[in-house]
Amino acid sequence: GWTMDAYRDIAIAKIREQVGDKQVICGLSGGVDSSVTAALLHEAIGDQLTCVFVDHGLLRLNEADDVMTMFRDNMNLKVIYADEKELFLGALEGQSDPETKRKIIGGLFIDVFQKYANKIEGAEFLAQGTLYPDVIESVSFSGGPSVTIKSHHNVGGLPEKMGLKLVEPLRELFKDEVRALGRELGLPASFIGRHPFPGPGLAIRCPGEITREKLDILRQADAVYIDQIRKHGLYHDIWQAFVAILPVRTVGVMGDGRTYDFACALRAVTSVDGMTADYYPFSHNFLGETATRIINEVAGINRVTYDITSKPPGTIEWE
């Protein structure tokens, strides 16, 4: 494997050589990959880097605030906050097909990014946190034939369109190596240890049609679930955990009344790189306690299920 302090120095030298005195823009999602990319670029070229953080309205509870505080206030990076919630949620209204949803989000991301990037005087480069598994998975799946399982949202095609050159300093790395590099760069453990979060965000955890109501419920349920996982000391044993809100209401009883609310599914997996995964074997006690908390604390959910599908044959996300 790589020794990360050596990798860091080499990567920084490479970036400086590639970029020279030109301006670089970088899409910041708050995920580990783009965070490490931004931190590395910042270390290499300082103020020649401008990040754009797009809020598509599909983020988790408090996520936009957390990311902006961390990068703009704590780390002193130049970050533009792009509030495009209405644009994305408006465009997704009435859409329920997974690939259509992904394509809408991917397309708007490019438009929005381009809009903000155009405001950055003299930008010649675009930095992306592409990892080795991203390179592999877009070519083939599990060594099988070349098929697209899911259209990954990224800014593919954008660099050419905008006349930008790509900077992809993580292209040779796996996730665990990216985390090691992040530690090397002094990113706080809370950021480095974060579970991956997909670019299309909560859209792909809200199978079927997305509504603001469902998103709000999903954000609340997800926060309770993650709180439970942290309280039980399980967060770092799990590669990724989240709630998916199901496109179905079910009948329940609460107090002396009938309820008719959404069902949700809890997902938690162990994995090395996201390409294969096993469901996490929570105790029955944990699952029961979590279900009770979600139903008591989150208005709009009255049934909780646990997803016990591994990858393959399932994927980690629901769409």
Is 310 annotated to bind a ligand? Reply is no
Is 29 annotated for ligand binding?
Answer: yes
Determine which residue in the list 72, 152, 171, 249 makes contact with ligand XMP, applying CB under 6 A: 152
* Position 199 contacts ligand XMP (CB under 6 A): yes
* Cα distance between residue 319 and residue 314, in whole Å: 10
With contacts defined by CB under 6 A, name the span among 55-63, 145-153, 247-255, 258-266 that binds ligand XMP: 145-153
Q: Does 200 bind ligand XMP (CB under 6 A)?
A: yes
* Residue 83 backbone phi and psi in degrees, to 5: -85, 100
Sorted by sequence, the CB contacts under 8 Å of residue 268 that are 6+ apart come out as 229, 238, 240, 241, 279, 280, 282
Q: Is 31 annotated as a binding residue?
A: yes
Instruction: Produce one character per residue of 87-111: b if its CB has 16 or more CB atoms within 10 Å, e if not.
Output: bbbebbeebeebeebbebbbebbbe
310 near ligand XMP (CB under 6 A): no
Least distance to ligand XMP, CB of residue 285, Å: 27
- From the list 272, 216, 215, the residue with the least C-alpha distance to 240 is 272
Which residue type does 315 have? T
**Which one of the spans 64-72, 195-203, 257-265, 302-310 is the region binding ligand XMP (CB under 6 A)?**
195-203
Residue 315 makes contact with ligand XMP by CB under 6 A = yes
Task: Please name which of 59, 104, 96 lies closest in space to residue 201, comparing C-alpha atoms.
Answer: 59
Span near ligand XMP by CB under 6 A; candidates 14-22, 75-83, 155-163, 192-200: 192-200
| Chain residues that interact with ligand XMP, rule: CB under 6 A | 150, 152-153, 196, 198-200, 240, 274, 311, 315-317
